[in-house]
């Protein structure tokens, strides 16, 4: 599978109207591994002219695709899920080298994505329309009936981040195409080899020419042009708040679905099961080196139980494995880039300079940041508010649940929050007041399972993902009103 989408020297190609093509001037982007800086492959650096062509192709392909019966579209998705799993080993090897995700997490992402694709097909087949009789509204009679179905929007521009290059691309592609849209996928540059592989999987499954196309290239170079292209009917973006805000400012009259940054707080109340809380904080804060939007990114703990919680978190952190995922499954891997590691190191230094207590870690080796925990973090420290996207957790001590809620809500972000308590009244008291998309009770913050609604508020996003929600977001009602004349 892998071989057919690349030519000699691992030069990968783009999928355009069913063909695997490079770009005219053969300009490529070299993709180096964050693990050992080895060359993993190259992808074409697409131009604005290329993008014009791809979007036209997607427009043309979508017209025919929207006429294909739902059950046939669903069968293609079921096949794509099977092909994805059949090729998991080859894709895992690419993922490990391209984004430094360990084998276990890479495998899990692929199987989770296959389940996502199947569930999307199941869900779409059961999303019937409705008919509304006119006489339920004052002044109207039964001779007027609205028959409502869902229709596709047209061309969906799907832009995905580096950290889940398969799941966060498929979670845009599958709901978009099942309801009759076509897709232009712009994968993260560091993750584009995975993205192109995924496109091949969908093509192998029978997605017709022009329905799924890819554009590779640096977002900083082609992103603005793509998102403002008049041929794009919907933008499904997952990535940083910085880029998301920029896209929302430069686009107009195009619907957006955005999942952005986060600073998810784990709030630990005085009656919490501290072992449960510590386990979830460590798993939620440090897996894949904290490079998850839904990672636990701060701990707000009641002073009364803080010392005991810090002790337990520190103990659990000693079990974290650190190293190169090419050698073994590890929790802490080198960060995706030197720029990312530099940023995390800046936050660490700022916290130390401003007097935070360094409980664990604080070390760096190349792009590898060792798991780090700060206690007694205060509001003047950057780590209290900024998203590290790295294995660094700040503990802020609070006097009561209201102070925890106040600090949690002061964040610009509003993705998820978690509250650890044995008291159901307190759980709902906190959950009702947190300005986030989702509150986890007695669990780490996380997106899965993928049919749950997943959304960020404030600087964490626009709109709602989650299989049914994504299908609804990328389609619209179409009403046909029957007027009976006799
Ligand atoms: P990023 O730097 O914002 O990049 C995300 C995507 O946007 C990439 O495909 C990138 O392409 C593209 N892009 C960059 N500039 C663009 C522009 N001007 N116009 C259009 N597209 C542009 O984010 P990342 O580093 O990949 O991922 C980390 C961030 O994403 C974190 O903030 C994390 O919280 C967030 N995230 C959120 C979720 C969620 O579900 N809420 C999930 C995962 C990640 P290039 O790669 O070529 O630059
Ligand atoms: O960061 C991306 C988001 O999809 C994470 O998913 O299930 O690991 O919280 P999950």
pLDDT digits (tens), the chain, 486 positions: 555 565 556 789 999 999 999 987 889 999 999 999 999 999 999 999 999 999 999 999 999 999 999 999 999 999 999 999 999 999 999 999 999 999 999 999 999 999 999 999 999 999 989 999 999 999 999 999 999 999 999 999 999 999 999 999 999 999 999 999 999 999 999 999 999 999 999 999 999 999 999 999 999 999 999 999 999 999 999 999 999 999 999 999 999 999 999 999 999 999 999 999 999 999 999 999 999 999 999 999 999 999 999 999 999 999 999 999 999 989 999 999 999 999 999 999 999 999 999 999 999 999 999 999 999 999 999 999 999 999 999 999 999 999 999 999 999 999 999 999 999 999 999 999 999 999 999 999 999 999 999 999 999 999 999 999 999 999 999 999 999 998
What lies within 8 Å, CB to CB, of 444 at 6+ separation is: 266, 280, 281, 283, 284, 285, 296, 418
Distance 408 CA to ligand 2 centre (A): 20
Output the six-digit token pair for 251.
């686009």
Based on the residue annotation, tell me whether 151 is a catalytic residue of this protein: no
Q: Which ligand is nearest to the CA of 258?
A: 1
**pLDDT at residue number 6:** 54
Q: Most distant CA pair in the chain: distance in Å?
A: 82
Which of 44, 170, 186, 219, when mutated, tests ligand 1's pocket best, judged by the most ligand atoms within 8 Å of its CB?
219
| Among protein residues, the one whose CA lies closest to atom 31 of ligand 1 | 240
**How many C-beta atoms lie closer than 10 Å to residue 339's C-beta?**
9
**pLDDT at residue number 199:** 98
Peptide bond into 449 cis (omega under 30): yes
Q: How far is CA 321 from CA 92, 281, 325, 370, 407, in A?
A: 20, 16, 10, 10, 31
- Catalytic one among 98, 109, 259, 386? 259
Fold of 3-260+462-479: Aldehyde Dehydrogenase; Chain A, domain 1 (3.40.605)
Q: Which ligand is nearest to the CA of 285?
A: 2
Domain layout of the chain by residue ranges = 3-260+462-479, 265-450
CATH 3.40.309.10 fits 265-450, yes or no: yes
Q: Is 262 in the pocket of ligand 1 (CB under 6 A)?
A: yes
CA distance 160 to 143: 48
Output the six-digit token pair for 72.
């046939």
Q: Which ligand is nearest to the CA of 456?
A: 1
**pLDDT at residue number 443:** 98
What lies within 8 Å, CB to CB, of 181 at 6+ separation is: 62, 65, 66, 152, 153, 154, 155, 156, 233, 234, 474, 475
Q: Is 260 in the pocket of ligand 1 (CB under 6 A)?
A: yes
pTM, two decimals, is 0.97
CA distance 207 to 24: 25
């Amino acid at each position: 599978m892998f071989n057919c989408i690349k030519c000699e020297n691992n030069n990968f190609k783009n999928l355009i109207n069913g063909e695997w093509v490079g770009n005219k001037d053969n300009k490529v982007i070299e993709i180096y591994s964050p693990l050992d800086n080895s060359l993993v492959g190259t992808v074409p650096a697409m131009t604005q002219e290329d993008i014009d062509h791809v979007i036209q192709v997607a427009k043309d392909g979508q017209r025919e695709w929207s006429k294909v019966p739902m059950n046939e579209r669903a069968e293609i998705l079921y096949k794509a899920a099977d092909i994805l799993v059949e090729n998991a080993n080859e894709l895992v090897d690419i993922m490990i080298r391209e984004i430094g995700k360990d084998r276990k997490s890479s495998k899990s992402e692929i199987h989770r994505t296959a389940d996502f694709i199947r569930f999307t097909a199941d869900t779409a087949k059961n999303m019937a329309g409705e008919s509304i009789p006119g006489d339920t509204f004052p002044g109207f009679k039964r001779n007027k009936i609205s028959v409502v179905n869902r229709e596709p929007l047209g061309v969906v521009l799907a832009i995905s981040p580096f950290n889940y290059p398969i799941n966060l691309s498929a979670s845009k592609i599958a709901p978009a195409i099942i309801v009759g849209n076509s897709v232009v996928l712009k994968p993260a540059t560091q993750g584009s080899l995975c993205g192109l592989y995924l496109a091949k999987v969908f093509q192998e499954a029978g997605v017709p020419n022009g329905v799924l196309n890819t554009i590779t290239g640096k977002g900083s170079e082609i992103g603005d042009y793509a998102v403002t292209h008049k041929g794009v009917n919907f933008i499904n973006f997952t990535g940083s708040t910085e880029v998301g805000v920029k896209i929302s400012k430069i686009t107009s009259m195009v619907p957006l679905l955005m999942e952005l940054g986060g600073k998810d707080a784990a709030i630990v109340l005085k009656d919490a099961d501290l072992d449960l809380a510590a386990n979830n904080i460590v798993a939620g804060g440090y897996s894949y080196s904290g490079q998850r939007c839904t990672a636990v990114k701060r701990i707000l703990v009641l002073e009364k139980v803080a010392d005991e919680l810090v002790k337990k978190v520190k103990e659990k952190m000693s079990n974290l494995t650190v190293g190169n995922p090419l050698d073994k499954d590890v929790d802490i891997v080198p960060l995706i880039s030197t720029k990312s590691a530099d940023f995390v190191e800046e936050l660490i230094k700022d916290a130390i300079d401003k007097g935070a207590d360094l409980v664990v870690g604080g070390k760096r080796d190349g792009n590898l940041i060792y798991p780090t925990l700060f206690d007694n973090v205060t509001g003047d420290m950057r780590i209290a508010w900024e998203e590290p996207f790295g294995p660094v957790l700040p503990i802020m001590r609070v006097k009561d649940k209201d102070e925890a809620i106040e600090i949690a809500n002061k964040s610009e972000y509003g993705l998820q929050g978690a509250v650890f308590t044995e008291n159901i009244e307190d759980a709902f008291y906190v959950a009702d007041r947190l300005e986030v998309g989702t509150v986890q009770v007695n669990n780490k913050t996380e997106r899965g399972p993928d049919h749950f609604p997943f959304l960020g508020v404030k600087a964490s996003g626009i709109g709602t993902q989650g299989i049914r929600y994504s299908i609804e977001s990328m389609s619209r009602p179409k009403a046909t009103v029957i007027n009976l004349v006799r």
